[in-house]
Amino acid sequence: MTAIRVLLVDDQPMIRTGFRLILESEPDMIVVGEAGDGQAGVDDTRALQPDIVLMDIRMPRLDGVEATRLIVESGLATRVIILTTFDLDEHVHDALRAGASGFLVKDGPADSLVEAIRTVAQGDAVISPRVTRRLLDRFSRLADQAPPAVPPTLDALTARELDVLRTLSRGLSNAEVARELHVSEATVKTHVAHILDKYQLRDRVQAVILAYDTGLVRPAADS
């Protein structure tokens, strides 16, 4: 078994120590380094080339949003999971657009963190269900505050792919989408792959952004 190599980037040493203890108790994970600010995180990512970076947002020297952008733009296979203390950090929207592959809150259960790392390492993406609705509500508010850009057309998607995209936008996993649409999980994975390929999207997080940017999905008015 090849271990998932993880880099911890957070300006609080106690937080990094806690994450290290959690991850190094897993047989398929190894912490390859720690960084206390965004710039050090970028430098260590380039040097160590971890599979996953756990990235705090609010840090000195360089914040997690810009650090994520630099890592993604470097072309490395490393993927970034954003961690924040708040249910909806005001910078999460920007971090996801910068190319982060997931968003979790720090006070979530340890098993959720471990599972998220495994999921992202396999090429998928995660957004904590606890905050999905609030995050997507923010997309709606931002759209109300500024003239929307001309959205890409969704004509390339089949009816079933549109169904899958709508369901993904609620933060459901592939297994949950499969149960709701009464198809196999393998079928869902195929549809997700087609959506990503047709619009050259990095992962399902960008697919969710696409759904909201194009108006395919809108948050409920009572949220």
What is the structure's pLDDT at 112?
A: 86
Q: Which long-range contacts (CB under 8 A, 24 or more apart) does 156-165 make?
A: 156/198, 156/199, 157/194, 157/195, 157/198, 158/194, 160/191, 161/191, 161/194, 161/195, 162/216, 164/188, 164/191, 164/192, 164/195, 165/195, 165/207, 165/210, 165/211, 165/216, 165/217
Residue 218: which of 136, 149, 127, 161 has the closest Cα? 136
What is the structure's pLDDT at 13?
A: 95
What is the structure's pLDDT at 173?
A: 78
What is the structure's pLDDT at 188?
A: 93
Task: Judge contact between 74 and 52, C-beta under 8 A.
Answer: no
Start-to-end CA span in the chain (Å): 44
What is the structure's pLDDT at 135?
A: 58
The stretches in the chain having pLDDT less than 70 are: 1, 86-93, 127-152, 218-223
pTM, rounded to two decimals: 0.72
What is the structure's pLDDT at 150?
A: 39
